Chains A and B, each alone.
Chain A
Amino acid sequence: MSNILKINDLEKTYTSGSKKLTVISNISFEVEKGCIFSIVGPSGSGKTTLLGLCAGLDYPTSGSIELCGTRLEDLNEDERAALRNKEVGFIFQNFQLLPTLTALENVIVPLELQGEKNAAKSGIALLEKVGLGDRLHHYPSQLSGGEQQRVALARAFSNKPSILFADEPTGNLDEETGEKVIQLLFELNKEAGTTLVIITHDLDLANRTQQILRLKGGKIISNEKTTTV
């Protein structure tokens, strides 16, 4: 099976005045296409930094990233945006819905950016799939946390991404709602055949993925396949 994400000897260092802070270093791994991959580690281990770099949201200090067959270091900001729009989906801990857009409008933004004609139709279908067919025209502030994350799920899958990055997708939800959201995420993922990269603290969730990358102090301490099928 081919790899959709290839990371080679990645390092990210922040400079503040004369001080340098290396957040991650010597990071190399690969993610197979269609795989469910998780990155775990304690707070400050560099998980979010790594996600930002993998998705092309940030620039590494050194090393290379190949996403969907494209070397990110060769792309400028707008080319990266175009790549994300076509190939990448996101789910964030804080949902990150656009507060001034309704649920449906939020979902169809990636499609509209692609110039899709039937964006609304696809958007409604996706919202119905996540159980929010009666909340199409509600603003984020009128939805519960779980509902907001379901809208975010629908949005993440709306552009039929090749790879989906989920940053602590249940971090802001109670256990029961979180579980429902994860079920839904896995279902949608299975249906779409998308590669899923999840960042989480939750080892139970990590154990439900096919491969776990463990980070500590900005370095990989293990990268193992699980028995999960």
Chain B
Amino acid sequence: MNATTPKLNFKWLLKMAWRDGRASLSRLLLFMASIILGIAAVVSIQLFSENLKQNIQKQSKSLMGADFIIDSKQEPSKKVLAIVDSLGADAMEVNFASMAAFPKNGGTKLVKVRAMEGPFPFYGTIASEPAKAGATYQSLKGALVDATLLLQYNITAGDSIKIGDLTLPVIGALQSIPGSTAISSSVTPTVLIPFSLLEKTNLLQLGSRKEYQYFFNAPETNLTALTEKLNPILNAENADLDTHVSTSENLGKRYDNVSRFLNLVAFIALLLGCIGIASSVHIYIKEKLKSVAVLKCLGASRTQAFLIYLLQIISIGFIGGVIGSGIGTGLQFAFPYILQDFLPFDIEIIISIQPLIMGIALGVLMSVLFALLPLLGTWYVAPLEVLRGAEDNLKKPKFARITVYFTIVLFIFLFSFWMLKDAADGMIFTAGIFITLAIMAGVAQLFIQAIKKFFPTSWGYTKRQSLLNLFRPNNQTMVLVLAIGLGTFLISTLYFTKDILLAKTTIENKKNDANIILLDVQAEQEAALLQTFESKGLEVIANVPIITMRMERIRGRSVNEMRQDTTINMRKWVLNREFRVTYRDSLTETEEIVEGDWIGTAVLGKPIPISISDNMAEDAGLKLGDAVVFNVQGVLMETYVSSIRKVDWTSLQINFMVLFPSGVLENAPQFNVMTTYVPNKESSAELQRDLVVHYPNVTILDLRQVFTIVEDILDKISWVINFMAFFSILTGLIVLVGSVRNSKYQRIKESVLLRTLGAKSKQIVQITALEYVYLGLLGSLTGVLLSLIGSQLLALFLFKQPFIPSVIPFLIFIPGITVLVVLIGLSNLKSVLQNSPLEVLRKEL
């Protein structure tokens, strides 16, 4: 007879895949759960990022409120005004920080005053209560005050507000205005007033920070050409042109970082899912090899046998992908709610099909890819195994294995590249994962070798037996240490990273540190203010003179010329900034010289030795000895960098980028910043009321309020981070449950044999519990230790922050995961302990 290769018969393959799968449904569901969570995380984040991008583009005009804006952080020069006039500004504002007082109850608060003229915004609206107040506050010569501020101070429309020397009626509550976020408004709430009344506040004095903005309603303008033409001229005059396009792009970039972090978290959840797949399928297929050999005996071809199980995996991946995408779609509706305080606009959720397709495709792809290695077994298992039962000796050709490994590495790299949008980062991430895996495998191997070498022969039977389980044939040491270890590693790295991220913004309010800062104290007010403090029994902690200046020349090159040069290696802000500088003959405790020598006193007639902060040195590309000419309100001062300081910016002390020695700036026009410590809320309110009445130009920063707001913001950020970390941790736990649960089938036969030979329940429980204690401890300890090293590296190279590890992973994760592993392991024994050995063998094997 002529033997030919059997036809594939796809319908039969599907039928067989279903028949075989339905009996293992509960195990396959666990495997599916890891896919669902991973995909849900990726899809929800992808959809949300997509929505964020689309919304920013769609709402770019209403986000800015105008087509373009010319702004200047100082009074605009004649040249700037000429440009503004020639373009025909449709609205303008002057904004600055100032104290506001409510005469009704004496309340005071630092606010952002925006003195507005013209019908701004041209796109979007001013949301106010009453609704028409946004359009009438200018004609009614009243103020539109931040809604939360009004609620805090129990002020309603009709009450008055005092800004500087001007008292005006509150027309309504300001809910939102294009260009500002809820977070920024909570630090300095906005007060809109008509520009025509600005003069009467008497707050526009020399040295006070103010911004001039000119708004243009010109939809037909070619914004790219306009930017190219005007920006160089405006920059030279310390002004700037922003278009709605560039603003939305910048905004997009800002949220790119948020997306990137979220993507990374999703990726970790997905990777955990992959480990879940790999470990579940490994044991699942191993148990199926005998059936495959039988099928081959009965005439199934290698392709048919392989396809039956591949179809199962594809189906599970597909269903997991669909469910995961569904959950991800539902979840992303929660993001606008969670992130609303960080976004300057309302998000309109649009379900785009691309992330959904990607979710399903990813579900199938990752399932197949991570199942491929064990699946190869179905191809190579010989029908002879039916007679011999030696599937443990199954050999998979090297080439096939290497190809699968290579494809997995490629997948992880491509996926991380797609998520992180950076090839180098993707490579580092992929390498990190594989180095971790290699180390874990090495640790597991070492552990096995160590037990073999130093086997405690004097131990009792159960202890010895549990140790023997770790290296006997069919041991699960490597698989479980890898699954538990990598799961713990990822979860705990996420935890440590979260700590680093949150610690970066944590501030401490130490007792006796200054908690009230007075800005813009004029020279003639200094003595009287010191008197006021003394009369109230308050100590002046710092009284620092401030002089404003700009850079004129750097290393002999004019700053204006450098602005035009696109090739220079420095951050442009340095060239445009109005520096606030102080002078003294010594350093404070928050400063430390890292390069050069600190010179505290200048020698007349010689270049002035200045000290600059390390971040400024880096951004400006300045080195020791570099000459810098400063323009101090018309007077040019030649200086050189004599030292570079490390400054602790998180200390909330008054710190400076540029520090002059004493002996040169004493007679320059200056104002002071004073700090003091007030013991309680009441004395703070009393001091502020006093100061607002007598010194309306002085801005008071109450750090107590700032601390509360910052804490609130941090709470929200940690909520978001925790919410996303939850995904990964949940996937990790499911993977853990899956891995340990699957190991049941490895050990149950032995437990039953022991039972048959007369082992008591207690002995079987002890053997199993101890084996899982060893595995849980080894896996979780290795995972946490490796994540400690990984997080240290992240802190050092990525976040550039000192890293103080939390003890939570050591105190909670290691024992918690070990206990979980032991509990799941022991639950595997339930049937052995409750039924007769024969019954168990029939039911379970």
Whether A57 pairs with B387 at a CB distance below 8 angstroms is yes
Assess whether B24 is in contact with A68, with CB atoms less than 8 Å apart. Answer: no
A 68-119 contacts with B by CB, 8 A:
68-70, 75, 77-88, 90, 92, 96-101, 105, 109-110, 112-115
How far does the alpha carbon of A100 sit from the alpha carbon of B3 in the complex, in Å?
29
Given A79-B4, A86-B1, are A110 and B299 neighbors across the interface (CB < 8 Å)? yes
List residues of chain B with CB within 8 A of the CB of A99.
23, 291, 845
Q: Say whether B298 contacts A85, CB under 8 Å.
A: yes
Q: Which of B24, B295, B382, B384 contacts A109 (CB 8 A)?
A: B295
Q: Is B294 an interface residue (CB 8 A)?
A: yes
In this assembly, does A52 line the interface, its C-beta being within 8 Å of a C-beta of chain B? yes
Interfacial chain B residues near A210, Cβ < 8 Å:
none
Q: Closest CB-CB distance, A111 to chain B, in whole Å?
A: 10
> Are A113 and B383 in contact, CB atoms less than 8 angstroms apart?
no
- Chain B 485-499 interface residues, beta-carbon cutoff 8 Å to A: none
- In the complex the two chains form, is B12's CB within 8 Å of A78's CB? no
A130: chain B residues at CB < 8 Å are none
- A173 in the interface, Cβ–Cβ < 8 Å? no
Are B19 and A105 interface neighbours, CB within 8 A?
yes
Cβ of A186 under 8 Å from chain B: no
B387 with A52: CB separation less than 8 A: yes
- Bound CA–CA A113/B301 (angstroms): 9
Instruction: Name the residue of chain A whose CB is nearest to the CB of B301.
Output: A78
- CB of A141 within 8 Å of the partner chain: yes
Cβ contacts under 8 Å, A136 to chain B: none
Proximity bits, A128-142, B CB within 8 Å = 1, else 0: 000000000001010
Asked if A48 is at the interface of the complex by the 8 Å CB criterion, the answer is: yes
Answer whether residue A147 sits at the interface, using C-beta atoms and an 8 A cutoff: no
If A84-B299, A113-B9, A113-B12 touch, whether A69 touches B1 (CB-CB below 8 Å) is yes
CA distance A84 to B15 in the complex (A): 21
A68-B1, A83-B3 given; A98·B294 CB < 8 A: yes
Q: Assess whether B296 is in contact with A87, with CB atoms less than 8 Å apart.
A: no
Give the complex CA separation of A139 and B24 in angstroms.
13
Contact check, B387 vs A48: say whether CB atoms are below 8 A apart.
Answer: yes
Would you call the interface of chain B mostly helix, strand, loop, or mixed? helix
Q: In the assembly, what is the distance between CA of A48 and CA of B19, in Å?
A: 31
Taking CB atoms, residues of chain A closer than 8 Å to B15 are: 112
CB distance from B745 to the nearest CB of A (A): 12
* A78 pairs with B303, CB closer than 8 A: yes
Q: Which residues does chain A contribute within 8 Å of B382, judged by CB atoms? A: 57-58
Given contacts A57-B384, A141-B843, contact A78 B6 (CB under 8 A): yes
List, in ascending order, chain A residues with CB within 8 A of B304's CB: 113
As a 0/1 sequence over residues 148 to 183 of chain B, the CB contacts with chain A under 8 angstroms (1 = contact) are 000000000000000000000000000000000000
B257-297 with Cβ < 8 A to chain A: 290-291, 294-297
* A125 at interface, CB cutoff 8 A: no
Bound together, the chains give a CA A84 to CA B299 distance in angstroms of 5
Instruction: Answer whether A84 and B297 are a contact pair too, CB < 8 Å, given A101-B19, A139-B23.
Output: yes
A110 to B24 alpha-carbon distance, docked (Å):
23
Judged by a CB distance under 8 angstroms, whether B453 is at the interface is: no
- In the assembled complex, which residues on chain A have CB atoms less than 8 Å from the CB atom of B19? 100-101, 105
Do A81 and B1 have beta carbons less than 8 Å apart? no
> Which of A82, A83, A92 has a CB less than 8 Å from the CB of B387?
A92
Is the C-beta of A167 less than 8 angstroms from some C-beta in chain B?
yes
Complex formed: what's the CA distance from A98 to B7 in Å? Answer: 21
Task: Give Cα A114 to B383, complex, Å.
Answer: 18
Number of interface residues of A (CB under 8 A): 42
Residue among A84, A86, A115, A167 with max Cβ neighbours from chain B (10 Å): A84
Q: Which residue of A lies closest to B842 (CB)?
A: A141
Is residue B302 contacting chain A, with contact meaning CB distance below 8 A?
A: yes
Within 8 A of A (CB), among B185-230: none
In the bound complex, CA of A88 to CA of B296 (Å): 12
B1-33 contacts to A, CB under 8 A, are 1-7, 9, 12, 15-16, 19-24
Q: Does A51 contact B (CB under 8 A)?
A: yes
B299–A81 touching, CB < 8 Å = yes
Residue of B nearest to A53 (CB): B384
Contacts of A112 in B (CB 8 A): 9, 12, 15-16
Question: Does B617 touch A at the CB level, under 8 Å?
Answer: no
B386 within 8 Å of A (CB atoms):
yes
Give every chain B residue within 8 A of A101 (Cβ-Cβ): 19-20
What is the bound-complex CA distance between A107 and B418, given in angstroms?
A: 50
Closest to A141 in B: B842
Q: Across the interface, do B843 and A84 meet the contact criterion of CB distance under 8 Å?
A: no
Interface centre among B6, B9, B12, B295 (most CB of A within 10 A): B6
Give the shortest distance, in Å, between B291 (CB) and chain A (any CB).
Answer: 5
Decide: B1 and A58 in contact? CB cutoff 8 A. Answer: no
Separation in Å of the A108 CB from the closest CB of chain B?
Answer: 10
A75 proximity list for chain B (CB < 8 A): 3
Supposing A52-B384, A58-B384 touch, asked if A82 and B20 sit within 8 A by C-beta, the answer is: no
Most buried by B among A68, A80, A98: A98
Q: Specify which chain B residues have a CB less than 8 angstroms from the CB of A78 in the assembled complex.
A: 5-6, 301-303
Chain B residues, CB < 8 A from A167: 387
A107 to B: closest C-beta gap in Å: 11
CB-based nearest A residue for B4: A82
Q: In the bound complex, how far is the Cα of B404 from the Cα of A144, in angstroms?
A: 42
Give residues of chain A (18-55) contacting chain B, Cβ–Cβ below 8 Å.
48, 51-52, 55
Bound CA span A216–B587, Å: 99
Q: What CA separation (Å) do A90 and B16 show in the bound complex? A: 20
- Supposing A51-B387, A57-B387, A84-B297 touch, asked if A100 and B20 sit within 8 A by C-beta, the answer is yes
Select which of A55, A70, A109 is within 8 A of B3 by beta carbon.
Answer: A70
Given contacts A99-B291, A141-B843, A167-B387, contact A79 B299 (CB under 8 A): no
Using known A-B contacts A70-B3, A79-B3, A100-B291, determine if residue A110 contacts B298 with beta carbons closer than 8 Å. Answer: yes
Verify A115–B7 contact, CB threshold 8 A: yes
B13 to chain A, nearest CB (A): 10
Least CB distance, A201 to chain B, in whole angstroms:
15
Contacting pair A85 B24 (CB below 8 A): no
When chains A and B are docked, how far (Å) is the Cα of A51 from the Cα of B386? 12
Closest beta carbon of chain B to A170's beta carbon, Å: 16
Contact A100–B23 (Cβ < 8 Å): yes
**Contact among A57, A69, A77, A84 for B302, CB-based, below 8 A:** A77
Across the interface, do A113 and B842 meet the contact criterion of CB distance under 8 Å? no
Q: Establish whether residues B12 and A85, one from each chain, have CB atoms under 8 Å apart when the complex forms.
A: no
State whether B9 touches A82 (Cβ < 8 A).
Answer: no
- Residues on A with beta carbons closer than 8 Å to the beta carbon of B16: 112
A100 near B298 (CB under 8 angstroms)?
A: no
The answer to whether A82 and B6 touch (CB under 8 A), given A51-B387, A57-B386, A70-B1, is yes
Q: Indicate if B300 sits at the interface (CB-CB under 8 A).
A: yes
Query: Known contacts A100-B24, A141-B843; is A81 also within 8 Å of B12 by CB?
Result: no
B291: A residues at CB distance < 8 A: 98-100
Partner of B297, one of A90, A105, A141: A90
Contact with A along B286-327 (1 / 0, CB 8 A): 000011001111111111100000000000000000000000
Residue-wise, chain B 800-828 has the 8 Å CB interface mask toward A (1 for contact) of 00000000000000000000000000000
Note all chain A residues with C-beta closer than 8 A to B294.
Answer: 96-98
Residues of A within 8 Å of B12, CB to CB, are 112-113, 115
Q: A98-B291, A100-B19, A100-B23 are in contact. Are A81 and B387 (CB under 8 A)?
A: no
With a CB–CB cut-off of 8 A, which chain A residues contact B300?
81, 85, 113
Whether A98 pairs with B6 at a CB distance below 8 angstroms is no
Interface residues of B in 61-90 (CB under 8 A from A): none
Residues on A with C-beta less than 8 A from B299 are 81-86, 88, 110, 113-114, 159
A-B contact pairs, 11 of them (CB 8 A): A52-B384, A80-B3, A81-B302, A82-B5, A86-B299, A92-B386, A96-B294, A99-B291, A100-B23, A112-B9, A113-B6
Q: 9 smallest A-B Cβ distances: which pairs?
A: A85-B299, A100-B23, A83-B3, A78-B301, A79-B3, A78-B5, A57-B384, A57-B383, A100-B20
Extra inter-chain contacts (14) besides given A85-B298, A113-B304, CB under 8 Å:
A57-B383, A78-B301, A78-B302, A78-B303, A79-B3, A81-B6, A81-B300, A82-B3, A83-B3, A90-B297, A90-B386, A96-B294, A96-B386, A97-B294
